Amino acid sequence: MSALLEALRTAQPLPPRFAATHCSQCGTDLGPGNSGVSSCTDHGPAADVAVSYYTAMADEATRLTQRPVNPAAWPSWLSRLPERLLKRAADALAADLALMQGHGHQPQPGCFHVEAFLGDADVLVEFEHEGESGDGWNEPHYDESIKPLCALINGKWVDADQFDEAVQDRWTEAGWEHLKNLRESEEEDRAAAMHADRLERCE
């Protein structure tokens, strides 16, 4: 028995399984251990947890805002981020890329967007749209009109007046074509709905 007690007394503790563990809720670094924890209530006093949590949040926000302006430096920047921030960084990059390519932009009231060409490049053009108005008798008659206002170039809106008239004319043609296709599609939808309604009544 004494030999067993002596062996237990002098035995070296097993090293922790992981060199670093974290809290899944706040991301606090808990140091070496056999496992992390899933809740802040499983480690440290509440005050320490709060401080650690907001410190971690501030650190993460700082790291994400330090993204280089030059896209060529992004791989190096991403390689230095901790794994838990990679998805947030990727989501932010995807959102910025989508906006740069014209996805997610909403036209101003009374306007619409059309994809058109600037040379060989696709650009998103915003048009001002004025519907036909006036009967010509009691009030002046105005034909329907559209006007290109701006174009999305490399993620920035550029005034259409910065481009020559030939470019604006091509954009205007694309705008009218868009309205024509939209109205034809709406007419087809109405015809299909009327046909379906007649079939339903005949049953």
- Burial label, 34 (beta-carbon count in 10 A; 0-12, 13-18, 19+): exposed
- pLDDT in the model for residue 55: 67
pTM above 0.85, yes or no: no
- pLDDT in the model for residue 182: 92
- Burial label, 88 (beta-carbon count in 10 A; 0-12, 13-18, 19+): middle
Quick: pLDDT tens for 137-170: 888 888 999 999 999 988 889 999 999 999 999 9
29 and 37 Cβ atoms separated by less than 8 Å: no
- pLDDT in the model for residue 127: 96
At 164, which amino acid appears?
D
What is the percent of the chain where pLDDT is above 90?
Answer: 30
Interatomic CA distance for residues 88 and 64, integer angstroms: 8
Q: What is the mean pLDDT of residues 10-39?
A: 71
- pLDDT in the model for residue 169: 96
CA atoms in the 13 A half-sphere facing the CB of 113: 15
User: Average pLDDT over the chain, rounded to whole?
Assistant: 80
